[in-house]
Structure 1
Amino acid sequence: MELQKIGQVSKDYGISARMLRYYEQVGLIESLRKDDYAYRVYDESAVIRLRQIIILRKLRVPVKQIISILNNSDAVQIVEIFRQNINQLDNEIIALSTVKSILTRFAEEINEKADVNLKLLGDEVLFSVINSLSFSDNQIKETKEDLSMKELNKASENLNKLEDKDVRIVYLPPMTIAAAYASGEGCEGKALDMISRFTNESGLLKIKPDARSFGFDCSGGATGIGENSQVYEVWVSVPDDMEIPSPLVKRDFSGGLYAAHVLRAWDFSDWRWLKEWVNASDKYDNDWGSPRWVSPETVAGQGFEETLNFYNLVQKGSNMEDLQLDLLFPIKEKG
């Protein structure tokens, strides 16, 4: 098998280049570098490992458990991890079956008595049964002994779709920003390194411990699966009168309303789900592309990825798998 470029692997397997780099950082796969060649390439063993990861993720196995499974030669421990997930699914199946039975009972009683007061909802015994049900974040819609990848994808689509309870509406206030932007492969890491170095050298967190940091692709539109960011910008909020050293630049962010959702998986597909939620909303309009700052150097007016634990990331260091990001999609109220 010939070595495959990162873009080709991304397109073949529907995994973003960012996700592939994340899998590398946590030690799940390894890439190679050819002499005088700028991009990552993958050999057959890396592609096989990637297929294993994809299957386990489709089966709702968390990344931390996948690391234990694929990097562990102890069969007993691996079996125990699978049994933990099976037990979790069993509990969910029982809970969902109970919910189905109760909803069926509601429907039958209303149909028979034409009574829409739902007196059953006041039943103490019913309340104790419902209150005891437990669901994890990995609820399932259906179970089969042998699920095809197509069925797994369909189930994953249903599970990942955002509901109102998954989205927060937040207002970002106006703020002064120190911005670092970089281009080419690894531009995200380069820009983040510049901001981290500036934050440490300036003692920013002693002056402004509530500093917030945002990052976003500003290549001229959001990148698609298999496409690398060409230009990436990282921000940190600073006091209005703070001097910003070159090559960083100062920006004035005017603030605005955003739909917020915590990133669940590092393939960043949650951006698509968040966009779909915004477009389907009866309260808010999509405001992507409306400039909320002036940027002669890069594109302005897009969504952000906010580092939620920025203070710890800079002050204490942080493992990639512990990093939390909030996706922030620009919106405006209808009317």
Structure 2
Amino acid sequence: MDSFLKIREVSAKYDITSRTLRYYEDMGLISSVRSDEYAYRMYDEAAMKRLEQILILRKLNISIRDIQSIFSASGSSVVLEVLSKKVEHIDDEVALLHELKEIVLAFIHQIEQMDFSSDSDVRLIYDKAKDIESRLTHVDYIGKPSNMNRLLEVTELLEKKPDVRLVALPACRMVTSGVKTGENHERFEAMWTSLDDKRIDRFYPRDFMFHDQESGSPVWYYAIEDWVTEADTEGFAIIGFEGGLYATSIVHDFDVNEVMKVYNGIKEWLAQHDNLTYDERPGHPVMFHVTRPDTYGLLGYRQVEYFFPVKPIYCSLE
């Protein structure tokens, strides 16, 4: 097994999470092997080359579904088609920017001719400004990339800021998987799935996952109803969840790059609000929840909602 890399080694080499690797494998994009001597996933040179291809395509904002199509096709026709559509999208953005430029220049000319003491002129300026605002997109720059690095920079600048909502999770009892991984998580998933089938209310979300900072391992939470006892949790501990405020946003495809964009986007969102700050207290980890198990079949990607704990600075929760 000397020519193989462990999952942690791959994560460190390419600066991606082990969960992202497992997701790519679940989607059939890469494959791993396991030996009788080593129970964890191992990746060979072919898997590494495939992973590098995936990471380049994701940097170009190519969807997981399109990447699947590219890898399942023989020849280069599909990848050329996908990239051609990307070029068409960029052309649309360029055309929109030119149009907006003309609108703004015309707006500037109109302002130069207007009388700010006139109510009708001020109203016209306001209506025109609202029209421009409704057509603007979050685009900072579009140029003709001369190399791959510049192309990646442009695609990053074209990214929209995440939509963020503020939600309050109630205090409740949770059953936790603990920091053990592997078969322990599979057993935990089977346990909470069984509880989920029996629960009375149908409110979502109920299950969350986060990464324990000390162990570096994933931990799974599941909110339980009052009737659930320790006898029902098959040895998994029941804890008290404090609840609190969370800033949330949706990530597509469970991709670490998308996660970091959302993480940084929420930090920027928090910086714009004087009454809120990141809640770093123990017991308030950044959590995520797969919104529905069938979103991939419905949408072509998985919807993952990230929950970032926040707290008020100047006002009370009550």
Distance 1:123 1:232, change over 3 A: closer
Matched residue count = 303
Give the Å deviation of 1:24. Answer: 0.5
- Does residue 302 in structure 1 map to residue 291 in structure 2? no
Superposition map of 1:33-112 within 5 A: 33-73=34-74, 75-107=76-108, 110=111
Unaligned runs of 5+ in 1: 222-227, 291-299
The aligned counterpart of 2:127 is: 122
Match of 2:176 in 1: 179
Instruction: List per-residue Cα deviations over 1:76-100 (Å, max 9, x = no partner).
Output: 4444333333222221221122223
Distance 1:145 1:329, change over 3 A: closer
- 2:142 maps to what in 1? 142
| 2:267 alignment partner in structure 1 | 276
Deviations 1:5-37 (A, max 9, x none): 222222222222111111100000111224412
* Letter paired with 1:330: P
Report the residue type matching 2:276 in the other structure: Y
Q: Return the offset for 1:101.
A: 3.0
Matched, 1:233 2:225: no
Amino acid corresponding to residue 308 of structure 1 in structure 2: T
Partners of 1:38 and 1:185 within 8 A in 2 = no
**Comparing 74-83 and 88-97, the one that deviates more:** 74-83
Within-5 A mapping of 1:10-29: 10-29=11-30
Please provide the CA RMSD for this pair.
3.7
The answer to whether the aligner puts 1:217 opposite 2:210 as a matched pair is yes
CA distance in 1, matches of 2:96, 2:104: 12
* Cα pair 2:208 2:287 within 8 Å, conserved: yes
The 8 Å contact of residues 179 and 233 in structure 1, kept in 2 or not, is answered as yes
Cα separation, 2, equivalents of 1:287 and 1:275: 13
Q: 1:276 to 1:186 in 2, by over 3 A?
A: farther
1:289 matched to which residue of 2? 281
Which of residues 234, 238, 245 is equivalent to 1:257? 245
Shift of 1:319: 9.2
**Equivalent AA in structure 2 for residue 106 of structure 1:** F
Report if aligned partners of 1:58, 1:152 keep a CA contact under 8 Å in 2. Answer: no
User: Contact (CA 8 Å) 2:210, 2:218: kept in 1 or not?
Assistant: yes
CA distance 1:187–1:19, shift in 2 (3 Å): farther
- Structure 2: how far apart are the matches of 1:34 and 1:114? 79
Check conservation: 1:211, 1:238, Cα contact below 8 A.
Answer: no
SS at the partner of 1:15?
coil
The change in CA–CA distance for 1:319 and 1:22 in structure 2 (over 3 A counts) is farther
What is the distance in 1 between the residues matched to 2:275 and 2:79? 47
- Structure 1 Cα separation of the partners of residues 23 and 183 of structure 2: 12
Q: CA deviation at 1:41?
A: 2.2
Q: What percentage of aligned pairs have identical amino acids?
A: 24
Structure 1 position 61, deviation (Å): 1.0
Q: Is 2:307 aligned against 1:328?
A: yes
Q: Secondary structure at the match of 1:53?
A: helix
Q: Deviations over 1:111-165 (max 9, x none)?
A: 68695948355369x95x987x697x9x68423243323x3443454445736xx
Amino acid at match of 1:264: H
- Change beyond 3 A, Cα 1:190–1:325: farther
- Normalised TM-score (structure 1): 0.75
Question: Matched residues in 2 for 1:46 and 1:145: separation?
Answer: 29
Q: CA deviation at 1:65?
A: 0.5
**SS of 1:232 mapped into structure 2:** strand
Structure 2 CA distance for aligned equivalents of residues 28 and 134 of structure 1: 36
Structure 2 gaps of 5+ residues are none
Structure 2 residue corresponding to 1:168, chosen from 142, 165, 170: 165
2:228 to 242, 248, 256: 242
Q: Taking structure 1 as reference, are residues 10 and 213 closer, same or farther at Cα in structure 2, changes over 3 Å only?
A: same
Report if aligned partners of 1:192, 1:234 keep a CA contact under 8 Å in 2: no
Structure 1 CA distance, aligned partners of 2:148 and 2:275?
Answer: 38
- In 2 relative to 1, CA 218–7 (structure 1 residues): closer, same or farther, beyond 3 Å? closer
Q: Answer yes or no: is the 8 Å Cα contact 1:180–1:247 preserved in 2.
A: no
Cα distance between partner residues in 2 of 1:130 and 1:332:
31
Distance 1:114 1:5 in 2: 70
Distance 1:78 1:240, change over 3 A: same
Letter matched to residue 238 of structure 2: K
